[in-house]
Amino acid sequence: MNKSLLLFLYSITTFAESPGLDNITSSDLDKISKEFSANFVHRAVSPASTLGSIFGFEVGLIAGITDAPDIAAITKRENPTNSDPFDKIAHAGLYGSVSVPFGLTGELVLLPERDLGDVNISHTSLGLKWTFSELLPIPLIDLAIKGHFSSSKISYSDTIDSVLTTINLDNSTYGATLLASANFLVLEPFVGVGMVSRSTDLAASGSVSIFDTSFTANTSSSSDGTSAQVLAGVQLNLLLMKIAAQYENVFGTSVTSAKLTFGF
């Protein structure tokens, strides 16, 4: 678990050291918002089933990688000599979920606020899943609807036009997902479709603006939007341990995630 958390922290540190976020246009901000939002959408990497008809819980870790080709292109544009553009964003967090009667499952993904050098990061996301097939059981099939929300904050220092500047990125998402899974006891393949909305605020403190003057003269700006969401994955149930992997596409961005949890 520690290696995955370090991967997340390393990716943010790399972004803070040489992000290349300067002369940002309206189109650039929209692309940055989409890729960061895709990375921080709440994801449980779990099937539609509950953890138990009366009670169940699991705790562990979720981690993964989000493609960021547009951020990489912006980085390369502002720093053509950069041979290692920021083309991936890692995500990781402590995960916990609890199931109670009536097919309800609460989910939490948490990365507590922390400082790493000049970088300060935090992430919290919540989900509430209702496995409505518990009311009308279908052999081997589970169906669920999930509402979810996430909030993430990143701040770091960078030198913009020879001025040391603090960059702040606040991101939030919310949405709903319809899930279906097949329960073969040990294996549970699952798929999902949904809609997700995003909101990103990007700001630079002080007198320096990171935005192109044709876009805005302010030192802060925001972007929002809504996207369809599709996902597919599989969970392996091994007594008290669960291992799962998931592919997701949201905001036109590919996200690959994995989960390792323990519980009953």
Q: Residue 172's pLDDT is what?
A: 98
Nearest in space to 106 (alpha carbons), one of 138, 172, 59? 59
DSSP state of 24: B
Q: How far apart are CA 121 and CA 172, in angstroms?
A: 14
Q: Residue 20's pLDDT is what?
A: 59
Q: Residue 110's pLDDT is what?
A: 96
- List the structure tokens of 133: 């097939």
The residue to which tokens 């979720």 are assigned: 62
What pTM does this model have? 0.88
**Residue 15: strand, helix, or coil:** helix
∠ CA 60-65-67 to the nearest 5 degrees?
160
pLDDT in tens, the chain (264 residues): 344 344 444 444 444 343 557 788 999 999 999 999 999 999 999 999 999 989 999 999 999 999 999 988 888 887 776 666 678 888 999 999 999 999 999 999 999 988 766 678 899 999 999 999 998 888 899 999 999 999 999 888 777 777 777 889 999 999 999 999 999 989 999 999 999 999 999 988 877 778 887 888 788 899 999 999 999 999 999 989 999 999 999 999 999 999 999 998
What single string gives the DSSP state of each residue in 111-161? EEEEEETTEEEEEEEEEEEE-GGGTS-BTTEEEEEEEEEEEEEEEEEEEET
Q: How far apart are CA 172 and CA 214, in angstroms?
A: 26
